[in-house]
Copies of this chain bind each other. A is one copy, B any other.
């Protein structure tokens, strides 16, 4: 839970998470796999946010630790998509009695 807020506290983290909601608007198209079912591949995200490879990897790891994104590896590529369940739960906590 603490990990979750920490991940959300980050500008770029939020930017990635938002971008993953509408990938075609925020990230360049990828060669294989539908962005909404499989997810967005790493390099596409990296290009979209415009940070170094290692930095983007760090952010994605943080988002994953907070289970704000789901990760799927296919061959040599890694695909990321939002974990809507976690996000919905957080929204509920915020909206109702929560923090």
Interface positions of A (Cβ within 8 A of B): 2, 5, 8-11, 14-15, 17-18, 21-22, 87-88, 90-92, 94-95, 97-99
Copies of this protein in the assembly total 2
Whether A17 lies near B95 (C-beta < 8 A) is no
Q: Which residues of B contact A8 (CB under 8 A)?
A: 5, 8-9
Whether B95 lies near A91 (C-beta < 8 A) is yes
Query: Which one of A9, A14, A88 has the greatest number of beta carbons of chain B within 10 Å?
Result: A9
Q: Which residues of B contact A88 (CB under 8 A)?
A: 95
Whether B18 lies near A99 (C-beta < 8 A) is yes
Q: Name 12 interchain pairs, CB-CB below 8 A, sorted by A.
A: A2-B11, A5-B8, A5-B14, A8-B8, A9-B9, A18-B98, A18-B99, A21-B97, A87-B94, A91-B95, A92-B95, A94-B94
